[in-house]
Structure 1
Amino acid sequence: MNTSFYNGVSGVKTYQSGIDVWGNNIANVNTVGYKANLPEFGSIFSQTLVDGNNSPTEDQTGLGSRLASTAISMNQGTLQQSDNALDLAIQGDGWFGVSGINNQQFYTRSGNFSTNAEGYIVDGSGNFLLGTSADNIGLMPDPEDPTKTIPVLTKSVEYVNLTTPQGQGKLQLPTRMYYPPEASTKAEFKANLPVDYGTGQIFNLRAGLIAPDGSKHTLTIAFTKSAEQPELGTSWKYRAYIDEEGTPSSEVLGTLEFDERGALKTLPATFSIDNHGGPVMVTLGTTPYDGLVSIAGADIASSSVADGFPEGYLDGYRIDQEANIIASFDNGRLSSIGKIAVFHFQNDQGLEKAGGNIFRTSSNSGGPHFFTDNEGNTVLGAQVINNALENSNVSLATALTELIVMQKAFDANAKSITTADQMIQKAINMKK
């Protein structure tokens, strides 16, 4: 009868804990990034029942139970689309890292981030999202107001390689940023100079250029048939100039000769022209039929390509699946300015809850680490999806079923205490 008391009391306490755990799961069924807790039970004591006939098997009877641990369900939650570019979801294994008060480092699957007043990426509790900065943002006088400064992109970066797990820092997104102009250094032309043009007729090719000071200009090459034509092929004179008011230093004169098949006789056909203080190498052809040709009856569209970009201002941000933060500018240029870290652990179950929906490391989880490839470069080991959030992985049907089971077990144990008490009371009365 005493054993029934032990089992009943411990069972009531144990299943009350189970009710609390599953009740908490149900309460967080709509919490972004929430990972369900799974209660695990164990015996407090057990007694071995030995068979008097030396049977090879032994039976045990329990003398109470307890809540041994609460495991973390690492099942992937469903993804929900969002309009916020800083809403992030991890598809696969891994954790976002956030830095709290006193630079304490925590880990979470909740990716509902935003920026604070200073432009740092933070979660709903004000913790800073961790990652590696590209270190390619400086300061310069604001072109629109020289008395103030504006963040400026110092170099264009395609992607960022994460440093060490301990070297991750806060990520800041300027709300306004300047992309300096890139002067044009080369231009390439392709076209079919019309054989049927008469002497004096002009065939123009044009390309847009950017000067070192960021101003926009037009390179024009005017072709006219030479007065004297060879017996086979054609001969053309050209005048290249920058803008109509071009100075002599920005004007180049030359002659091109084509053979009977319409290919340039002299290759490569190149020249340099001054673009308001910056030299531009102009290419008219490097191999036969690759640049300019002069073929009768051939319909070849003209085209021109020049490098260089005008100045631009920040247009917005996006985050790719490799967690690179890409800044886009209104001049069409893109650059990564940082990369969000995705942390991994030897034992995710060993992480300790630190309140809310964040975790911290423990001796059981081990320290955070990054995956690397054969060349030593860090790889995420998962995909980061922006404009999306990971929903709670709690199955409401499973949670309600488990809650009913826990409630029934609680009632049964409570009933066993009442029954044991009645049996003891009867035994006492029998002695009277």
Structure 2
Amino acid sequence: MLRSLYSGVSGMKNFQTELDTIGNNIANVNTYGYKKGRVTFKDAISQTLASATPGTSAQQVGLGSQIGSIDTVDTSGSPESTGRPLDFAITGDGYFRVQDGNDTYYTRAGNFYFDDNRRLVNSEGFAVLGTNGQAITLGANVKSFSVATDGTISDQNGNTIGTISIATFQNPAGLTKAGGNLYTTANSNAGQVTVSQPGQNGAGTIKSGYLEMSNVDLSEELTNMIVAERGFQANTRIITTSDEILQELVNLKR
């Protein structure tokens, strides 16, 4: 069979994966704290028809392409003003830490709430961790609070309730998406995690009343979608042309 048939199939599968990734990016264009994905390709193995000799290069035919990586592009999104005191955006590097039981997750989505126990939690009900590794909880006598850029939460009398912690990583793109705007370090190459107070050890600061928008650029995604669609069509043309050649070979017997 013609090698071009299998090369075309590999190209179609890879462009379909890219279209899947682009579609997910577009679907999350308004998701707070979302980090877009990116697909890279690499060539597959090549078949050597003739080895290299002195003065003559090797003759090789490529056998298609394959997925090189599906990366998470860890650039910051634009902060959007909400005016809500419990909406936090990180200006700079780092992730909020939230805990569900014994599991710790990381997120850039800072839309937080107070639960029935007056704990600061995310939309999933996971506790937001302070620098002491514990959940941040309002006392019964707290009537109002304020949040400083260094993550310090103070009550109406200026007493410190707790300090929001920020986690930074050597390779934040290596975090694994866990759904619900959450990331985990399980089976990732994120490297060493450093937990700090906002503004220290390279961690970003906190802006209360803001949320970080998705870093998806819609015009870029639509352009990439057109390129991927044309790439998919070109690979289907390879299969169609190869099929016509095989049909001619079959017809030689007639």
Question: By the TM > 0.5 criterion, same fold?
Answer: yes
Q: Which AA in structure 2 matches 1:71? A: D
Cα displacement (A) at 1:315: 3.9
Q: Which AA in structure 2 matches 1:394? A: V
Are residue 343 (structure 1) and residue 167 (structure 2) matched?
Answer: yes
Q: Which residue of 2 aligns with 1:43?
A: 43
Cα displacement (A) at 1:83: 2.1
Q: Tell me, in whole angstroms, the C-alpha distance in 1 between the residues paired with 2:58 and 2:112.
A: 57
Q: Tell me, in whole angstroms, the C-alpha distance in 1 between the residues paired with 2:29 and 2:219.
A: 11
Q: Tell me, in whole angstroms, the C-alpha distance in 1 between the residues paired with 2:46 and 2:179.
A: 35
User: 4+ residue runs of structure 1 moved beyond 6 angstroms?
Assistant: none
Q: Tell me, in whole angstroms, the C-alpha distance in 2 between the residues paired with 1:59 and 1:76.
A: 46
Q: Which AA in structure 1 matches 2:222? A: L
Q: Which residue of 1 aligns with 2:68?
A: 68
Contact persistence 1:322–1:380 (CA under 8 A): no
Unaligned runs of 5+ in 1: 133-162, 178-313
Number of matched pairs: 252
Matches within 5 A, 1:14-413: 14-48=14-48, 54-55=54-55, 61-100=61-100, 102-132=101-131, 163=132, 168-174=133-139, 176-177=140-141, 314-328=142-156, 333-361=157-185, 362-370=187-195, 379=201, 381-413=203-235
Q: Which AA in structure 2 matches 1:111? A: G
Higher relative helix content? 2
Aligned in 2, Cα 1:108/1:48: closer, same or farther, shift over 3 Å?
Answer: farther
Cα displacement (A) at 1:426: 1.0
Contact persistence 1:370–1:380 (CA under 8 A): no
Aligned in 2, Cα 1:339/1:40: closer, same or farther, shift over 3 Å?
Answer: same
Cα displacement (A) at 1:428: 1.4
Measured against aligned partners, the alpha-carbon deviations of 1:294-350 in whole angstroms (never above 9, x if no partner) come to xxxxxxxxxxxxxxxxxxxx341121111111112xxxx312111111001121121
Contact persistence 1:342–1:380 (CA under 8 A): no
Measured against aligned partners, the alpha-carbon deviations of 1:47-71 in whole angstroms (never above 9, x if no partner) come to 3565866347667542122222211
Q: Which AA in structure 2 matches 1:9? A: V
Aligned in 2, Cα 1:35/1:353: closer, same or farther, shift over 3 Å?
Answer: same
Aligned in 2, Cα 1:363/1:80: closer, same or farther, shift over 3 Å?
Answer: closer
Unaligned runs of 5+ in 2: none
Q: Which has the larger radius of gyration?
A: 1
Higher relative strand content? 1
SS of residue in 1 equivalent to 2:233: helix
Q: Tell me, in whole angstroms, the C-alpha distance in 1 between the residues paired with 2:14 and 2:222.
A: 18
Cα displacement (A) at 1:388: 0.3
Contact persistence 1:84–1:387 (CA under 8 A): yes
What TM-score comes out, normalization by structure 2 length? 0.91
What TM-score comes out, normalization by structure 1 length? 0.55
Q: Which residue of 2 aligns with 1:420?
A: 242
Aligned in 2, Cα 1:48/1:321: closer, same or farther, shift over 3 Å?
Answer: farther
Q: Which AA in structure 2 matches 1:325? A: I
Q: Tell me, in whole angstroms, the C-alpha distance in 1 between the residues paired with 2:188 and 2:72.
A: 16
Q: Tell me, in whole angstroms, the C-alpha distance in 2 between the residues paired with 1:60 and 1:77.
A: 45
Aligned in 2, Cα 1:60/1:116: closer, same or farther, shift over 3 Å?
Answer: farther
Between the two proteins, what is the percent identity of the paired residues? 37
Aligned in 2, Cα 1:319/1:49: closer, same or farther, shift over 3 Å?
Answer: farther
Q: Tell me, in whole angstroms, the C-alpha distance in 2 between the residues paired with 1:171 and 1:56.
A: 70
Q: Which AA in structure 1 matches 2:72? A: I
